[in-house]
């Protein structure tokens, strides 16, 4: 997994699945791999990160041996996408507690606002190689 990053997401969350689809279509270099937090590999990495295996309120990015959560994930992901998305980096100027407060508010309400699936998303055939453990 050298020079690659793994994005762990809540596989039953419609917002999270939409985020994964957004990223994969703009990640022309194939930098990101993906895994549901509920998957075996997701649970394994959660334990490595010292996070509760029941903790599904944040997307987690594993990059270069470091785990990132909350608003840091969105900003680091945007930095690696094509187009104008790296310009989102301007939000690093907002203090982390404020960014994370907004992130947590959205995360707390994501099922209510965007819904929830009964099972984890199955990747499109052309994306399957980017999903770990599938």
- For the stretch 65-114, pLDDT in tens is 899 989 999 999 999 998 888 888 898 999 999 999 999 899 889 889 98
Spatial contact of 53 and 47, defined as CB atoms under 8 Å apart: yes
Q: Is residue 40 part of a domain?
A: yes
Predicted model pTM: 0.85
Q: With 0-12 CB in 10 A as exposed, 13-18 as middle and 19+ as buried, what is 36? A: buried
Residue ranges with strand state E in 1-134: 5-9, 32-36, 60-63, 66-69
Q: Is residue 10 part of a domain?
A: yes
Count of domains forming the chain: 1
Domain interval for residue 103:
5-125
Q: Is residue 41 part of a domain?
A: yes
């Amino acid at each position: 997994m050298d020079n690659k990053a793994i994005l762990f997401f809540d596989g039953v969350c419609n917002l999270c699945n939409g985020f994964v689809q957004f990223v994969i279509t703009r990640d022309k270099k194939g930098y990101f791999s993906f895994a549901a937090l509920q998957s075996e590999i997701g649970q394994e990495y959660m334990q490595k990160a010292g996070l509760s295996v029941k903790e599904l309120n944040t997307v987690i990015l594993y990059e270069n041996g470091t785990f990132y959560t909350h608003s840091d994930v969105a900003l680091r992901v945007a930095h690696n996408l094509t187009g104008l998305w790296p310009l989102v980096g301007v939000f690093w100027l907002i203090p982390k507690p404020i960014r994370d407060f907004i992130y947590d508010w959205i995360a707390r309400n994501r099922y209510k606002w965007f819904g929830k699936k009964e099972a984890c998303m199955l990747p499109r055939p052309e994306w399957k190689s980017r999903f770990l453990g599938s």
